[in-house]
Amino acid sequence: MYIISQDNYFVSGMDKLLKNINPYAPHTLIVFDRGDGKVVFFSMHSLLLILAEQKNFHTFICTKFIKLDKCSPMSFMEYEVRKIITFLRGKEQEDHIREVHLSVVEYNIMTMILDGRPNSYIMEALNLDRKVVSNYKNAILRKLGLKSMAELIHIYQNWNACFCCTDGIVMPNIKLVPHAETNELKMIRCGTLKQDDVSPSSVM
């Protein structure tokens, strides 16, 4: 299992946990630190499908993944990760991604929020009053399992940082590169690769 996170302490702790579970396990699964205190688990195949989409972040945030609290005790995290590995084993190549279904209006509102548009812009663009926009926002948060739009924006910014994205979409000349000595996986721009960051075969 590969780890994708901007938190070096989390990477170090999760790396030790994974090596304790099985240091020789194939890297077919991903644990991604979402940036909001939750970590999500999915297959490498699913990640590559999401990154291949034109709307990378929108596909990600509307996908149902297994989630754990990042601050969980290590013993609980190890127990849960073992269960997750068992559950996901054999499902690595499945093309089907379970989706959260947003309506067209909900999707458009989410996109405008991620673009930094104020309420006044959303109301005018969609010809909706303030209360209706507020109701749509609440529906979006409920479907995504989030507490606030600020949380959504924070996850979005973390996604852009972790995957070298602009507006949620992977920039050109990017590779997913495994660290040579740990289970960490980083998105790195070609031309900025360091020799000690590159394993014998890069992912993308």
pTM of the entire predicted model: 0.83
Condensed to tens digits (0 to 9), the pLDDT of residues 50-64 reads: 888 777 899 899 888
- The answer to whether residue 23 scores a pLDDT higher than 80 is no
Condensed to tens digits (0 to 9), the pLDDT of residues 58-115 reads: 989 988 888 889 888 888 988 988 888 887 776 655 555 678 899 999 999 999 999 9
- The answer to whether residue 46 scores a pLDDT higher than 50 is yes
**Sign, CA torsion 200/5/153/42:** positive
Q: Which residue(s) pair with 31 in the sheet? A: 3, 41
pLDDT band at 199 (very low <50, low <70, confident <90, very high): very low
- The answer to whether residue 11 scores a pLDDT higher than 80 is yes
- The answer to whether residue 30 scores a pLDDT higher than 80 is yes
pLDDT band at 198 (very low <50, low <70, confident <90, very high): very low
